Structure 1
Amino acid sequence: MRVLPPGARALILCAVLAACACAAPAVVDSGTPWPAVALLCLLCVGCELTGSRRRPGSRVPEGTGAFFPVVPAAVFLLSPAAAALVALPGGFAAAVVQRPVRVRRTWHAAQQANAAWAAGQVYRLLDGPATLGGAGPGAGYRVADFPYAVLPAGAAAVAFCLVLTALDGGILATAEHRPAATAWRGLPGRSLAPYCVHGLAGLMTAVMWRSPYGVPAALLVLLPMYISSRGFAQYTRERTAHQATIRALVQAVDIKDRYTRGHSERVGQASAMIARELGMPDERMEVVRIAGILHDVGKLGVPTRLLRKNGPLTPEERRVIELHPEYGHEMVRGIGFLGEARSAILHHHERVDGSGYPYGLAGEQIPEPARVVAVADAFDAMTSTRSYSRARPVPVALAELERCAGTHFDPAMVRALVDAIGRHGWHPVVTSDDDVQVAAPRSGAPAPARGAGGGA
């Protein structure tokens, strides 16, 4: 706990206390169906442990072993307090690969319990138990009321997702000091569909649990969902491996060129802002962000003495440095998951008037991701301190980009960056340079400035 900022410690403590308050009524309630609670707890723990089992040399990312249909089934079958109690052991058993392990396990358990309790309250508020079917008092077995049973179950799944993502965003904002405007961005959108699917599987499990076939039939419903969740966990592990590959390449460039340390991440951030402003879909925006992060990977093939040289470069030295886009393209040619990002690495120094390098492409001949990265690269180069220049204020850098729009840069990309920064400000996540300009959202246009900006 000592390594966490005070805000993060306070948030974790509040979440733990709230989880205890949510689950406590089930402990003292004489009507709690303990056999069902115990079986669901065992299912949660078992699925977490088998889903997060490690192979030698492998690293399992946090959360990939979670098997959420068991928790929604508890939400639909039990009281909110009992559902919170069921969620606790699974949270404690979740895969954790970063320290502090105990704190992270406690945090995951508290998240799950709070989300299960909130989902249970929503489910009962919408009279979900009445639609579930099962044995009624003196009325025999009742069939589940479809499709009406889907509405309260879906609302409960949404509530579960929103509570978890709210807590996730809160811990990102307090523990990693991310701006509040970006800590929650994209979390609900990425999580909502999977939680709704798991919620539907939990509803089917609960219906079969209440049916004459009982618990064995409910377990048969869980089996295919468990297999599919293992497949998704494998996909997540592969994605994590891809991100580790990207980080390793970026760190190698940063070590070699100390003057641009942090530059790659900031270019990726600015590229994503441009892509989002242009309305690109999430998958394409991620491609552009990765292209921005890896755009200078070819500098690994450039002599270090040239990258660290103080003062102007000779024409011969500049020609050597200008080979880095081709070096970078060759380095990542065999990395299949990069896709279109490879073209941005190769062409991010092309200019729309055809005066760039390495091939002198012009206008629409330059791939769109490369035109995005070119603007982001120039913007960060101007707003960061280098060996040959001091950082310019953000408005001055934006004015310079606008002055060069139509010759060096695609005007649409420049306008997208200007609009994005005007609306959200410029708050670089990585600020490893000695001096990086930060700007708040603005309403006015920047003042004109002289000089051309851009990365080497």
Structure 2
Amino acid sequence: MEAVPARARVYVAGVALGALCCLAPLSAAGPPWWATALLAALYAGGEQIAGRRFSGTCYPVLLAGAFLLAPPAAALVALPGALSARVEQRPAALRRIWRAAELVLAVWASAQVFGALGGGAAVATADFPYALLPATGGVLAFCAALALLDGGVLVLAEHVPARRAWRGLFARSLAPLLVHGLAGLMMAVLWRSPYGPTASLLVLLPMCVSWWAFAQYHRERAAHRATIRALVQAVDIKDGYTRGHSERVGQASMMIARELGMPDDRVEVLRFAGILHDVGKLGVPTRLLRKDGPLTPEERRIIELHPEYGHEMVRGISFLCEARAAVLHHHERLDGSGYPYGLVGTQIPESARVVAVADAFDAMTSTRSYSRARPVEAALAELERCAGTHFDPRMVAALTQALTRYGWHPAVTADEMPAPRPPAAPVPGKEGARR
């Protein structure tokens, strides 16, 4: 985001000033400059190799500094790497300053807590088990500082509601940071042992292997997203009236899944399911997708084949797993009136019941060639009217609760689509076949 609000700039400036205050006692502390410089070089080099996408993989070095050095010197370890890190989004300078300032404060807080709990003496005597408690305290302080500061940025720069900004920030990052903290503690204990700093660097070897595996995993995920993006773009090009529909259905499906308390990995699968639910339209003649007015029975039968076409298209893509069932069954109805197989009730996969509600909601709130957009409230009222016959009442209730709590802010709106031709009068019973 290039335009950073003034209040966010003031916030960043305040955090940066706080970081400078943490570094101010450096000259009086008389830190071991060679140790500070070595750790700072290790962290900066690791950040350059990892890049922005894997920023944070070098935290063991920062935490080792917090466990070895006085708080001002430990905070200094983060500064060169954060200021020299690659930044892809503008304004780059402000983002570098922000990243450097929050890391300085987080490492300083970690070193303060670690020292207050007597960690320095445990590390100096290589008393590894007794150093676990202060190290845990240091990691908790590091994690809490990052979560607190990042939440403030979400509120002031990204306009995230305050009640949502800090939700889950601490919990999501705690587990990986505890692992990084253990590696940092091992580095610190070996550093103080007779084996010296050289031995402590060996701790980084298994971490480097894990970073490489992590990078491979993210490359695979990027390839998955590219595959999905290509399929969705092909559908959008073919069916111009529904441009953005797939992304919005994915967003609504994700909101329903989260409201139902599903785990994150399943939420992502349902987002993929929503995005890909109409991919089978690639097998439907374009003239039918863009036709004004009512469909003939034969044309309707052809369009109703798109769930089966879509299932065939994605069945060989292993990572989609549960999403394939949603693609095939998202037009089934609880009372058996849907297609392609007329499944009833719980015979319909849960993923398909989620996507069915999300699909119907976006179809009603979007302007199309055969219907005008309805207000969100009217669309929800219609979903509630059809709950129990067409749609799963749990999914309808979850979407209603999510929209009440967060509102509906789709990434692609009708205003961003090409201006449609004047819509024909809605044809009862025909809208579902077009979705």
Above 0.5 in TM-score?
Answer: yes
Asked if the contact 1:23–1:82 (Cα under 8 Å) also holds between the matched residues in 2, the reply is yes
- What per-residue deviation string (whole Å, max 9, x for no partner) do you get for residues 130-181 of structure 1? 332x1xxxxxxx34262x4222212222332233344444444544444445
Structure 1 contact 62–95 (Cα < 8 Å) conserved: no
Distance in structure 2 (CA, Å) of the matches to 1:259 and 1:162: 47
Equivalent in the alignment of 1:32? 31
Q: Specify the alignment match of 1:432 in structure 2.
A: 413
15-24 vs 193-202, which moves further: 15-24
Q: Work out whether residues 66 and 94 of structure 1, in 8 Å CA contact, stay in contact via their aligned partners in 2.
A: no
CA distance in 2, matches of 1:218, 1:236: 28
2-structure distance, mates of 1:107, 1:189: 22
Q: Return closer, same or farther for 1:303/1:115 CA change in 2, 3 Å cut-off.
A: farther
TM-score, structure 2 normalization: 0.86
Q: 1:3 to 1:399 in 2, by over 3 A?
A: closer
Q: Is the 8 A contact 1:67 1:226 kept in 2?
A: no
Q: Find the counterpart in structure 2 of residue 56 from structure 1.
A: none
Distance 1:256 1:128, change over 3 A: farther
Are residues 237 and 155 of structure 1, via their aligned partners in 2, closer, same or farther at CA, if it must alter by over 3 Å? farther
- Rate the CA distance shift 1:375–1:313 in 2: closer, same or farther, 3 A: same
Q: Which moved more, 1:340-349 or 1:64-73?
A: 64-73
SS at match of 2:202: helix
Match of 1:144 in 2: 127
1:405-420 to structure 2, matched below 5 A, reads 405-420=387-402
**Aligned twin of 1:355:** 337
Q: Is the aligned partner of 1:22 residue 2:18?
A: no
In structure 1, the residue matched to 2:205 is: 223
Q: How many Å separate the matches in 2 of 1:378 and 1:15?
A: 46
Shift of 1:41: 0.7
Measure the CA separation in 2 of the matches of 1:316 and 1:178.
48
Distance 1:317 1:232 in 2: 48
Matches of 2:155 and 2:229, distance apart in 1: 22
Runs of 4+ aligned residues of structure 1 deviating over 6 Å after TM superposition are: none
CA 1:305 to 1:251, structure 2 compared with 1: closer, same or farther past 3 Å? same
The 8 Å contact of residues 272 and 288 in structure 1, kept in 2 or not, is answered as yes
Q: Is the 8 A contact 1:154 1:199 kept in 2?
A: yes
- Asked if the contact 1:268/1:290 (under 8 Å) is kept, the reply is yes
Change (3 A) 1:316 1:95: farther
Please say if 1:335 is aligned against 2:317. Answer: yes
| Distance across 2 between alignment mates of 1:426 and 1:305 | 35
Conserved? CA contact 2:75–2:107, under 8 Å: yes
Unaligned runs of 5+ in 2: 418-427
Q: Aligned partners of 2:411 and 2:134: how far apart in 1?
A: 43
Give 2:180's aligned residue. Answer: 198
1:282-321 matched pairs, under 5 angstroms: 282-321=264-303
Counterpart selection for 1:86 from 77, 100, 103:
77
User: What CA distance in whole angstroms lies between the structure 2 residues aligned with 1:405 and 1:397?
Assistant: 12
Closer, same or farther: CA 429–207 of 1 in aligned 2, 3 Å: farther
CA distance in 1, matches of 2:359, 2:312: 20
Match of 2:355 in 1: 373
- C-alpha distance in structure 2 between counterparts of 1:92 and 1:354, whole Å: 61
Which stretch shows the higher mean deviation, 33-42 or 256-265? 256-265
Provide the secondary structure at the position in 2 that maps to 1:391. coil
Query: Could you say if the C-alpha distance between residues 22 and 302 of structure 1 is closer, same or farther in structure 2, counting changes exceeding 3 Å?
Result: farther
Q: Distance in 2 between matches of 1:266 and 1:181?
A: 24
CA 167–409 in structure 1, closer or farther in 2 if over 3 Å, else same? same
Sequence identity (%): 65
How far the C-alpha of 1:376 sits from its partner, in A, is 1.4
Which of 117, 131, 140 aligns to 1:126? It is 117
Distance (Å, rounded) in 2 between the aligned partners of 1:165 and 1:76 = 21
